[in-house]
Chain A
């Protein structure tokens, strides 16, 4: 490697080394006979690497200079540059945090002793996934980018199909594989067009391309498609719920909390190439973003599978981020500095927040699955008494993800709201303010979804006797959850610090705009917000103390829950997950249905009957699925070429190369 800046402790080199170490952490385990040491070794090494990587990343984030390294390779795609600027560093922070936390969680959640068959692969590919994501953020050459992108996509596939003996897991894996490769196909188009435009596969510098040039919009659209499919932006989200639900929980945490960010990173990076983006780009992003947010959370509220609910809420959060990015681009196009700043700050901060609370919730779902032995929320209940610590941490995550003060989700949505409202005094694009009530609706539905989740899992009493052995998770599982919960609280109570974390990336993104004034103004507003949060906490503590004193004065008795004079209430009569959301989902009937199959009851003493419900997406069922069937039928003739004989496939490759050679001559 050549470097333009020498130094043993160059943070970029430290970050690169950390990424490589994380990638190889799982290798020793592959060769060890005895299960266990490999997993523990991998977790220890990953955590140590992250401990080195996080400070290095922070240093890179706040440094104004970017060091560029050139990787010597003898491939015909030009020099392979590696560099970490503020934007890369910002996205890299969660990669280290979440992968380290996930690897520690795995030790308790997926112990090698119990999962001999698949633990090695799981550990190895987890490391590879984290490493490929970190290196992806450094890649400055289109071809290298695609290579790392494929390593990332395929490691994720192998992680999803960890439990490949189950049919639904295999199906989820296949759907994911198709979706990710459809996205990669769009990325091939994207990088080829980009290379045709710039004359090299090196990614262009910030603001070096004009958006007015021909094909610019086409390039941007292919980027939105390819990267959007990875991020799960509507309408490219269909693969996401099943893939995230069927992977082991700590893998879901990494996939939801970090891998979706990689798709967003691609879009952010692409937009940074251009100056003067047209209104159309921001418009498309805003529209796709707000529909992802709204539809995603409506899908979530109807789910009865714990992890599917969390996965659908990822679609919502990615939608919120995309909306923020979209309005920021609209702000740039219409020369509204405030909107550009607030949209960008909201989007970036929400990325950070989502990588704190979503891993917390997915790790929590792992603890729940351990305790309950199922993902079906209708069968759970009362877990809060058996696992009070996990329940408290999960509560922090639930409140945070609903965007409720005083936690971190509120801060990023607050900035977006301020952005929308600021449009009221702007000269153009006033109608963007209509996004505010829509975002409020999203927030309202999120509260329904997460009270449903929290209520049916942790509160009340157990709805089924099938719950295996409810227990508090071990310290290796609680520690990562506590870590993320503390981060959520920190950002919630000190939002002005978080704003400082996103500022370098914003400045890098819009080098021409001067944000000094707005950034001070909104920093001050956020410190007022933080004061209100402290005030709220102080008031709640005071009220609790007074109440405890008051309660101490009278007699305290305990009895069973009042059943309105009905003496034989059972825990099966509680409101379950499905019944809780039935009313809310019925309001959005055109988009989402909870199809409930009720048995016909006859006679005075009906026989034993079963009732089941299936959440169905109307769009998917009526439009997307039939389209796929149609495509399958019309391309059936291609199956003649697809027969599974290896030597013929090799011949195809040879023939293609030969024809290409002839064409080039």
Chain B
């Protein structure tokens, strides 16, 4: 019970901090002081205070987009285990629900973008649709590999099985998975090299361009849901890449928080040292990620 409360508390409070850490890391690389760690929180609170502007072209779909995106990500957050602690909701097959909840959120985000009738937002949602459907198989190959290694059909079972021991006997396939999942993590959260979350007016944008017309509280929800998505997918990745467990509850929570912050720093480093890919390269990289994950599956089921 206590663990569930901590789980929900962390899922509510911590996500924007990751964005702050990423921003600080990038600033450090650029030789700037950078915005404070808590800047994303200020931004979200600021946006919540503001008024809203709605395009006359839009209907209720436009208003539903952010809400559904937030709700689906939040439920996905209840399905994923944080660190060594099992998730509050867990049942056989929850990994499929986890994967498909993002699809629901995406459906409404894209619909909301198309609802504005703006060609920029249409462009963004066309790209989002294509890239995310290419990212989907990678996640499933990862789930298959983990399910095979653990003999479990739920996220908590699969991910708690990944430990230093698992790395000893299935190291190569876990390494391949980490490669594939890191690419998916960056693509799904619209980070460099797939997308640049800082440039709102760039024609090569994907996610940011889909939310051009959202303002005020709606935009606050979108920002928060985006950070939550990074957190929820990041938790999956962290448990895969840094599976440390001590057996002591409080220690494990500490390890989880530190690992997440470390992940944010890594993303910040990647964003600082890489340029964004040309758009035609993006599908190629996503397919490469799928192949990496498929190799790992092949290794464990042979």
Find residues 583-606 in chain A having any chain B CB closer than 8 Å to their own CB: 583-584, 587
Question: Is residue B97 contacting chain A, with contact meaning CB distance below 8 A?
Answer: yes
A539-B212 in contact given A451-B125, A529-B93, A554-B50 (Cβ < 8 Å): no
B71 within 8 A of A: yes
Determine if A515 is an interface residue (Cβ-Cβ < 8 Å): no
Partner of B103, one of A404, A557, A560: A404
Chain A: CB-nearest residue to B201: A564
How long is the Cα–Cα vector from A584 to B294 in the complex, in angstroms? 22
Question: B107 contacts A402, CB within 8 Å?
Answer: yes
Question: Which listed residue (A403, A460, A550) contacts B114, Cβ 8 A?
Answer: A460
The answer to whether A385 and B56 have CB atoms under 8 Å apart is: no
Interface string of A430-446 (1 = CB under 8 A from B): 11011011101101110
Interface residues on B, range: 35 or more
Residue A31 CB within 8 A of the other chain: no
Cross-chain contact B107 with A399 (CB below 8 angstroms):
yes
The main secondary structure of chain B at its interface with chain A is helix
Q: How far is the CA of A424 from the CA of B221 in the complex (A)?
A: 40
Q: Assess the A437–B114 pair: CB atoms within 8 A.
A: no
Docked pose: A438 CA to B119 CA in angstroms: 31
A529-B97 contact in complex given A433-B301, A436-B140, A564-B120, C-beta closer than 8 Å: yes
B104 touches A404 (CB 8 A): yes
Are the C-beta atoms of A573 and B59 separated by less than 8 Å? no
Q: Is B122 an interface residue (CB 8 A)?
A: yes
**Cα A65 to Cα B243 with chains together (Å):** 56
Instruction: Using CB atoms, name the residue of chain B closest to A441.
Output: B137
Of B74, B121, B129, B140, the residue contacting A448 (CB under 8 A) is: B129
A70 CB within 8 Å of chain B? no
Q: How far is the CB of A190 from chain B (nearest CB, A)?
A: 37
Bound complex: CA A458 to CA B122 (Å):
14
**Known contacts A404-B100, A424-B301, A557-B52; is-contact A544 B93 (Cβ 8 Å):** no
Contact at B93–A418, with CB atoms within 8 Å?
yes
Given contacts A436-B144, A554-B49, A559-B56, 5 further A-B contacts (CB under 8 A): A447-B103, A451-B111, A529-B91, A532-B97, A560-B57
Q: Which of B27-35, B145-153, B254-262 contacts A (4 or more CB under 8 A)?
A: B145-153
Assess whether B119 is in contact with A440, with CB atoms less than 8 Å apart: no
Q: How far is the CB of A187 from chain B (nearest CB, A)?
A: 38
Name A455's contact: one of B70, B74, B125, B143 (CB within 8 Å).
B125
Stretch at the interface among A12-20, A140-148, A574-582: A574-582
- Please tell me if the beta carbons of A543 and B71 are within 8 angstroms of each other in the complex: yes
Chain B, 115-132, contact with A by CB distance < 8 Å: what is the 0/1 string?
Answer: 111111111011101101
Q: Given known contacts A382-B57, A443-B136, A575-B122, is B96 in contact with A547 (CB within 8 Å)? A: no
The 8 closest A-B pairs by CB, nearest first: A575-B122, A444-B133, A460-B117, A455-B114, A554-B51, A555-B51, A437-B137, A528-B91
Chain B 215-226 interface 0/1 with A at a Cβ cutoff of 8 Å (1 = within)? 011100100000
Within 8 Å CB of B91, what residues of A? Answer: 525, 528-529
21 A–B contacts from the bound complex (CB under 8 Å) = A384-B115, A399-B104, A403-B100, A424-B301, A430-B301, A437-B136, A443-B136, A444-B133, A447-B133, A448-B129, A451-B125, A454-B114, A543-B67, A555-B52, A558-B53, A562-B55, A575-B114, A575-B125, A580-B122, A583-B130, A587-B130
Q: Within B32-75, which residues are at the interface with A (CB < 8 Å)?
A: 48-59, 61, 66-68, 70-72, 74-75
Give complex CA distance A554, B94 in Å: 39
Interface contact A421-B147, CB-CB below 8 Å: yes
Cβ of B110 under 8 Å from chain A: yes
A536 in the interface, Cβ–Cβ < 8 Å?
A: yes
Among A440, A461, A536, contact of B117 (Cβ-Cβ < 8 Å): A461
Q: Which of B79, B89, B92 has the most CB of A within 10 A?
A: B92
Q: How many residues of A contact B (CB 8 A)?
A: 82
Q: Are B147 and A447 in contact (CB under 8 A)?
A: no
In the docked arrangement, what's the CA distance between A456 and B114, Å? 8
Q: Which residues of B contact A529 (CB under 8 A)?
A: 91, 93, 97
How near does chain A come to B226, taking the closest CB pair, in angstroms? Answer: 15
Q: Does B233 contact A (CB under 8 A)?
A: no
Nearest B residue to A580, CB-CB: B126
A417 lies within 8 A of chain B by Cβ: yes
Distance to closest chain B CB from A359 (angstroms): 21
A451-B54 in contact (CB<8A):
no
A384-B61, A529-B93 as given contacts; A455 in contact with B101, CB under 8 Å: no
B74 A539 Cβ-Cβ under 8 A: yes
Question: Which residues of chain B have C-beta atoms less than 8 A from A558's C-beta?
Answer: 53-56
A402 to B137, CA, bound (A): 16
Name the distance in Å between B257's Cβ and chain A's nearest Cβ.
Answer: 24
* A451-B110, A574-B117, A587-B134 known; A424+B55 contact, CB < 8 A: no
A274 beta carbon closer than 8 Å to chain B: no
B136 touches A441 (CB 8 A): yes
Q: Are B52 and A460 in contact (CB under 8 A)?
A: no
A418 closest partner in B (C-beta): B93
